[in-house]
Amino acid sequence: MFVVYAIMFVIVAFISWRWVKAIDYMKENHPDYKGEDFLNWDDVPTSAGRDGWDDNTVHAEGDF
C-alpha cells in the first residue's frame, strides 16, 4: 500500500511542479495577459462556431 501512495505522491508532485512552472512562465513572458478571454461567458457569439466561421454558406473552389 505504501508503494501506491508513493507513486500517487510523485505524480501529484510532478503535476503541481509543472503547473507552477507554467504560471511562472506566463508571468515572465506574458505579463499583460489577464486571462479575461478564457471562459468569457458574457461575450457569447450569436453565429455558429467559436469564431463565426461556420456560417452555412457554400463556397466554390474559385471563390477562394
Comparing 13 with 34, which gets the higher pLDDT? 13
Report residue 6's pLDDT band, with 50, 70 and 90 as the boundaries. Answer: very high
Domain boundaries, the chain: 1-28
Q: Quick check: helix, strand or coil at residue 41?
A: coil
pLDDT at 62: 62
Residues 8-40: b if buried by 16+ CB within 10 A, e if exposed = eeeeeeeeeeeeeeeeeeeeeeeeeeeeeeeee
pLDDT at 32: 86
Give the tens place of pLDDT for each residue, 16-57. Answer: 999 999 999 999 998 888 777 777 666 655 554 555 555 555
pLDDT at 1: 94
